Structure 1
Amino acid sequence: MAYGKTVGPTCGTSQQTEIDQGTRIPLASPVPGANAKSGGKERVLGTCELVLTRTTFSKKSTMGELSHRGCRLFYTLEDVEREKKIYGKTAIPLGTYDIKLARSPRFDRVLPLLLNVPNFTHVLIHNGSYAENTDGCILVGNTKGDDFLGGSRKAVDALMKFLQPYASASAGIRIRVQHGKGAQASDK
């Protein structure tokens, strides 16, 4: 797949940076290996904080957006929020969770694994299109519809490419799960 480059604002600043149109991830995101010979384009990583903002709640799913430094990276789909957990059919609680990249036997690949989620185990960020695919995990995609994500496999590949430098540098990765301002219920 060919990726085009466009110039866009750097998240949270007035500076400009190139944005990869295929992944919508800033190309100027820091990468490990800072040195004077690199022309200042590389720098040591700090902790990567992803933000999952839940925006739409239906009877079937919870839709949202995954962002980094205020820039949306992907759309998300989770199970329904519930006061009382139903195994495999409930979204994780709001909060901030550390992430490690770990091999999933189910998916036979390395994926982001959320750590220390109360009353949940093995919460991954992985591909899928419908709430039936979540089992309490977070799905990511490039497009969205009613209770649906599209382009999910490509989104997971792009997310892993984005997170790998942070994991390689032992910089730390975490995710904050929150409700968005103006979050809305859907009658579907």
Structure 2
Amino acid sequence: MDLVVKRFLKTSKSTIGKLYVDGTFECYTLEDTDRNLSSFMSLEQIKEIKIYGNTAIPRGKYALAVQQSPSNGKRYFYLQNVKGYTGVRIEWGNTQMDTLGCILVGTTYTTDKVNNSVVAYNALVKKMNATKGHTITIMDEKSVSNSFWVILVGILLVVTYFFREKVINFFKKLLKK
């Protein structure tokens, strides 16, 4: 099962996103403040920017693992190999004060808050318990996908190939000036 969080509302206190399960909208998410971290950054870069308990996890793709809590017996879904973070899980809660680096879910949202968190969490966990091999991708809603850039570069290469003489002449004229 592929989960995708698309962040769309950022304030100084929190980050709200939409959670999709296999391409279908599931619920809203709430994370700590987005400080523009990425899984492509080095651990040192992340540690330099991150504020413990007040920074959303880095954008990127992560495998999810299931662990059972020894204290209450509940199963939790943890994000694996998040640089600079430990114990990041999908969780219930309503405000940034409840996150501590985790992703909270809710059926509705207002600024800095998700609502009906337990309902959203139970519905999501029910779906996730029915399958194995989960991943989660964290991204900005307005970010342009990699496939867009691949297509754009491909088009530019084709156009350049067919009009290479004109392109070469253009740059020759440009350099003479």
TM-score, scaled relative to structure 1: 0.66
Which of the pair has more CA radius of gyration?
2
Give the drift of 1:101: 1.5
Aligned pairs (5 A) from 1:50-129: 50-82=3-35, 84-105=49-70, 108-129=73-94
2:101 matches 1:148: no
Q: Deviation above 4 Å: which 4+ runs of structure 1? A: 105-108
- Richer in helix (by share): 2
**Where in structure 2 are there 5+ consecutive unaligned residues?**
37-48, 144-177
> What's the secondary structure of 1:181's corresponding residue?
coil
Task: From the superposition, tell whether residues 116 and 106 of structure 1 become closer, same or farther in structure 2 (CA, over 3 Å).
Answer: farther
Give the drift of 1:82: 2.0
Aligned pairs (5 A) from 1:14-29: none
Give the drift of 1:149: 0.7
CA deviations on 1:51-90 (whole Å, 9 max, x unpaired) are 0000010011000010023211010000001261111111
Give the drift of 1:100: 1.2
- 2:64 and 2:74 map into 1 onto residues whose CA distance is 16
Of all paired residues, the percent bearing the same amino acid is 39
Match of residue 126 from structure 2? 161
- 1:123 and 1:106 map into 2 onto residues whose CA distance is 17
- 2:3 and 2:34 map into 1 onto residues whose CA distance is 20
Match of residue 44 from structure 2? none
Output the aligned Cα RMSD.
1.5
> What's the secondary structure of 1:156's corresponding residue?
helix
Match of residue 100 from structure 2? 135
Give the drift of 1:143: 1.0
Q: Point out the more displaced range, 103-112 or 82-91.
A: 103-112
TM-score, scaled relative to structure 2: 0.70
Give the drift of 1:103: 1.7
Match of residue 136 from structure 2? 175
| Paired positions, count | 131
